[in-house]
Structure 1
Amino acid sequence: MALAQAPLPPLSGGRLVLATIAVALATFMNVLDTSIANVAIPTISGNLGVSVDQGTWVITVFAAANAVSIPLTGWLTQRIGEIRLFVGAIVLFTLTSWLCGIAPTLPVLLVARVVQGAVAGPLIPLSQAILLGSYPKEKSSSALALWGMTATVGPIAGPTLGGWITDNYNWSWIFYINIPVGVFAATVTWMMYRKRETPTRRTPIDIVGLGLLIVWVGSLQVMLDKGRDLDWFNSPVIVALGITALISFAFFLVWELTEEDPIVDLRLFAQRNFLGGTVAISVAYGVFFGNLVLLPQWMQEYLGYRALDAGLVTAPLGVFAVLLSPVIGRVLKSWDARAVATLSFVGFAGVFYMRTNYVISIDTWHLVLPTLLQGIPMALFFVPLTSIILSGQPPQRLAAAAGVSNFARVFCGAVGTSIAGNEWNNRTVLHHVRLTEQASIDNPGFNHQIDLTRSLLHLNVDSARALFDYTVNTQAAMMGLNDIFYISSIIYVLIIPLIWITRPTKGGGGAAAAGAH
């Protein structure tokens, strides 16, 4: 069947509102699951009788399967059809969420999470394409703004919601909450869109490309997630995974660039807007997500915050992101998307620079303020960059372009998390060494400080030294985290030129938006 078809008219009125809600909820359900399980890992591990290190595989296998399946969206859309694939993915995601919730053992839970991550892959790129096709050309930026709102709020709400559910109910409910959302989203989406199915054609299956993709993404994802626990390249397991990922990635590049019907269309990177926009959004998201993981972790480990409290401190990030997203949709009709994205990166740099002044005695308000302000650049982030990436794409390549760009973004999110965690650990060790250079029993000044602590707090020698060590550890971790914030602010400034290698874009997707319907 040929891919060419007459442009479909946009939806309107109540049908458009209901369809937008359904598609947005499917996106929210997916992005929520990327972070909601993080705070529940200790509880899940304890209930299933495994160590926390083993429990972290619940996150690792989902991320690996999801990363592999996202770039397959374009090929699957050609074979199955955009609407059938999207609704089928929602149904399977809902079913696997139920299987995760009833899992009696860790192996069963891991199998369910692998399938859940795999079927979740097409949801985000297809939601972009479907929303663009539902709105008139002049409102395409509003469609992207609504998508950006759900993509922003999900990772932010995850830790808070996960912490609250884990503290007040059984951990299984972090998966069960997907069931009513999924049933509603699948039902309404099918009702609204079943007559708007895209044409299909039976393209050959790129078995070699698919196999190489699974090997290099899977091995690299596991290496990144487990590298810190296994002491990185001092571990033969990590070395083997690194070599496997490198070799299979090299073969993957050569194969996909020469294959007539590749499983992942790497030729998209030959387009200036796709290249600049994808690299910019991926690096920026990697820095953002890495910091989003570190901040609540630091609050729990060193400030004594509960999981729920740490989640609540990060929750204000969504306030301005939600309030401003509709405004950004209107602004993009007349503003150059590159200028809006630049304002976003400058805002991120400013917020992270504010955080470089954190101290161990910081109060909750000074933790919340930068997080609240960060919602402003977040609102300016997804919409203009997605507009740049999808500009000029013909309708039949929208799903493929959205799939590849989202794969790069999600993959960089995993890389950013790993790098941020590892560098925080390295900087903490460095500062700890510097802070304890004079901490020797042969140093009269050190002994005087210990004696003073003993007399003030009525402690014995061992307790006074333990208190000193705890104070140094806390201070070193704070200084290390400030270093990460400072480096993050610099990175956002350095990647601004990537935005300006692209061509001017207005109207939320340009030709992509026009061709989408």
Structure 2
Amino acid sequence: MSDNKHIDHPPLQGAKLAIGAIAVSLATFMNVLDTSIANVSIPTISGNLGVSSDQGTWVITSFAVSNAIALPLTGWLSQRIGQVKLFIAATTLFVIASWMCGFAPNLPFLLLARVLQGAVAGPMIPLSQALLLAAFPRSKSSLALALWSMTTLTAPVAGPILGGWISDNYTWPWIFYVNIPVGILAIAGTWLIFRDRESATHKLPIDILGLVLLVIWVGALQIMLDKGKDLDWFNSPVIIALAVTSAIAFVYFVAWELTDRHPIVDLSLFKLRNFTAGTIALSVSYGLYFANIVLLPLWLQTDLGYRATDAGLVLAPAGLVAVALTPFTGKLMGRVDPRVLATVSLLAFAACFFWRANYTSDVDSWSLVMPTLIQGIGLATLFVPLLAVLLSGLPPQRIPAASGLSNFLRILCGGIGTSIFQTAWDHRSILHHAQLNEVTTNYNPVFQHFTNQVQQAGNSQAQSYGIFNHLLDQQAAQLGVDDLFYISGILFVVLIALLWISKPGHSGGGDASAAASGAH
């Protein structure tokens, strides 16, 4: 039974709409920025707190685990508390947790603060979508999604650059303190504009067993993904135990949630063709994109000698192009079938990765930046159309649950993609090294000529072999990363077929705004 009657609030207009949109977008930007800003600062944080870099990575893992668990709870929490109250409370607690992170005197305190920060960050992204869609007129809902996606596109690119700059020029706590003024502005703006626009609430019973199973399977899976590479994956009993625990808890979780009268996660959304097709396409494409934006800077730094900041700047043009083009995507959404725009995005990503698959170890800056510009086109036409597809036909009260679940799967795929790609890169590099080493014999004139030249420069035979082996390592890593770029390109093409399983939008596929706003 409802605590308050459902009221369809009229769209906001003029200054109220602008202030409300900026406030919600600031909170989203701050949230997404925090998923990547700490990554480049881990060595600094670890050193200052007197712990190893391996222990320091728990600063990332603790945030990711609690964030992944909280995301799918958004639908249930928003029905219980109300969208506006939950968003303001989550943003307020996020600011407090950010202050606690910066203030942390030791690693356990910092990890506790990061767990809190990740947990309250969970509802912020899906609720920001819901509040923006409710604030904009239905005819402009595509513009609302475009504005939302701009903040989520720029933050992952800005995070490593800003985090590195703050760590180099100030002290690491400022990567967290920077959230405080941004968060206060977001809270004030949201309360000012949205306080009288609360959604309907219901006194739903708490699905305790569902919540416990969710915490177990997501927590175990996330820790397994984060620690798998360090512990040599399934050669480690810890990883095997985590995998078995996650699998068993997941099976019980799905069975329970599908049969419980008041599930904590609404899995019935997967009965809807558009939600399923759109969510899978968005999650897998984001997983591939995120894995590659981790892989590319790593390769540039470890094998080509780029500084962390320079490697981050290689990716920056993609964010700039995406920000410039996303408003045009919003305008096109009312005229073009969102599946067509999403297909353009997937083709752009495929072209970007097929181009990168031809990289060599002497790749120049121009060849690094050009595919990144094409990737920017892909980013600009990815989020908005796929969100329109997956939210199509949903009533407003189901949007937070749908958004929370799709965002949860998107972020989970980002973690899975990153773990798989880093491990696959290691394995492909070892394979290529072995293949290249097969022709490294004294009967090979190229090998003989190289080692003779190195020895004539004053090195011993053993040193000349060592130098040659180092070059083999570099070439093997290059071939390994090219393999993954090529596989990424193929997978983006395959996703196009999946996308077209979804139904066209309203008005023959043209009225994406109606679809995006969740209208019947």
What letter matches 1:324 in structure 2?
A: L
What letter matches 2:248 in structure 1?
A: I
Match of 1:213 in 2: 214
Match of 2:9 in 1: 8
Contact 1:398 1:512 survives alignment (8 Å): no
* Counterparts of 2:437 and 2:8, CA distance in 1: 69
* Counterparts of 2:283 and 2:104, CA distance in 1: 34
Match of 1:152 in 2: 153
The size of the alignment, in residue pairs, is 515
Deviation of the 1:502 alpha carbon = 0.9
Match of 1:95 in 2: 96
Match of 2:436 in 1: 435
* Counterparts of 2:466 and 2:16, CA distance in 1: 65
* Counterparts of 1:164 and 1:260, CA distance in 2: 50
State the Cα deviation string for residues 317-371 of structure 1 (Å, max 9, x = none). Answer: 1111001111111100010001110111011000001101111111222211111
Match of 2:514 in 1: 510
- Say whether 1:476 aligns with 2:476: yes
SS at structure 2 position matched to 1:86 = helix
- Say whether 1:245 aligns with 2:246: yes
What letter matches 1:241 in structure 2?
A: L
What letter matches 2:161 in structure 1?
A: T
CA 8–230 in structure 1, closer or farther in 2 if over 3 Å, else same? same
Match of 1:85 in 2: 86
* Counterparts of 1:114 and 1:197, CA distance in 2: 28
CA 84–427 in structure 1, closer or farther in 2 if over 3 Å, else same? same
State the Cα deviation string for residues 135-192 of structure 1 (Å, max 9, x = none). Answer: 0010000000001111111111111111111121111111111111101001110111
Match of 2:497 in 1: 497
Match of 1:453 in 2: 454
Match of 2:126 in 1: 125
Deviation of the 1:5 alpha carbon = 1.7
SS at structure 2 position matched to 1:33 = helix
Contact 1:424 1:480 survives alignment (8 Å): yes
Deviation of the 1:509 alpha carbon = 4.6
Match of 1:19 in 2: 20
State the Cα deviation string for residues 24-74 of structure 1 (Å, max 9, x = none). Answer: 111111111111111111111111111111111111111111000000000
Deviation of the 1:472 alpha carbon = 1.0
Match of 2:76 in 1: 75
Match of 2:41 in 1: 40
* Counterparts of 1:237 and 1:509, CA distance in 2: 48
CA 406–388 in structure 1, closer or farther in 2 if over 3 Å, else same? same
SS at structure 2 position matched to 1:222 = helix
> Map of 1:32-431 to 2, 5 A cutoff?
32-431=33-432
Deviation of the 1:507 alpha carbon = 3.7
Deviation of the 1:459 alpha carbon = 2.4
What letter matches 1:83 in structure 2?
A: V
* Counterparts of 1:172 and 1:491, CA distance in 2: 40
What letter matches 1:51 in structure 2?
A: S
Deviation of the 1:511 alpha carbon = 4.7
Match of 2:488 in 1: 488
* Counterparts of 1:7 and 1:449, CA distance in 2: 76
* Counterparts of 1:453 and 1:514, CA distance in 2: 68
* Counterparts of 2:110 and 2:193, CA distance in 1: 34
Contact 1:341 1:385 survives alignment (8 Å): yes
Deviation of the 1:448 alpha carbon = 4.7
* Counterparts of 1:108 and 1:64, CA distance in 2: 17
SS at structure 2 position matched to 1:195 = coil
What letter matches 1:495 in structure 2?
A: L
Contact 2:142 2:516 survives alignment (8 Å): no
- The gaps in structure 2 that reach 5 residues or longer are none
Contact 1:225 1:418 survives alignment (8 Å): yes
Contact 1:30 1:120 survives alignment (8 Å): yes
* Counterparts of 1:449 and 1:296, CA distance in 2: 30
* Counterparts of 1:473 and 1:106, CA distance in 2: 36
- The gaps in structure 1 that reach 5 residues or longer are none
CA 74–514 in structure 1, closer or farther in 2 if over 3 Å, else same? closer
* Counterparts of 1:331 and 1:176, CA distance in 2: 39
Q: Output the aligned Cα RMSD.
A: 1.5
User: What is the TM-score when the length of structure 1 is the normalising length?
Assistant: 0.97
State the Cα deviation string for residues 397-416 of structure 1 (Å, max 9, x = none). Answer: 11111111111111111111
Contact 1:163 1:311 survives alignment (8 Å): no
User: What is the TM-score when the length of structure 2 is the normalising length?
Assistant: 0.96
SS at structure 2 position matched to 1:196 = coil
Deviation of the 1:464 alpha carbon = 2.1
SS at structure 2 position matched to 1:316 = helix
Contact 1:299 1:310 survives alignment (8 Å): yes
Contact 2:428 2:480 survives alignment (8 Å): yes
What letter matches 1:52 in structure 2?
A: S
State the Cα deviation string for residues 462-512 of structure 1 (Å, max 9, x = none). Answer: 432222122111111111000000000000001111111111124445255
Contact 2:392 2:519 survives alignment (8 Å): no
SS at structure 2 position matched to 1:199 = coil
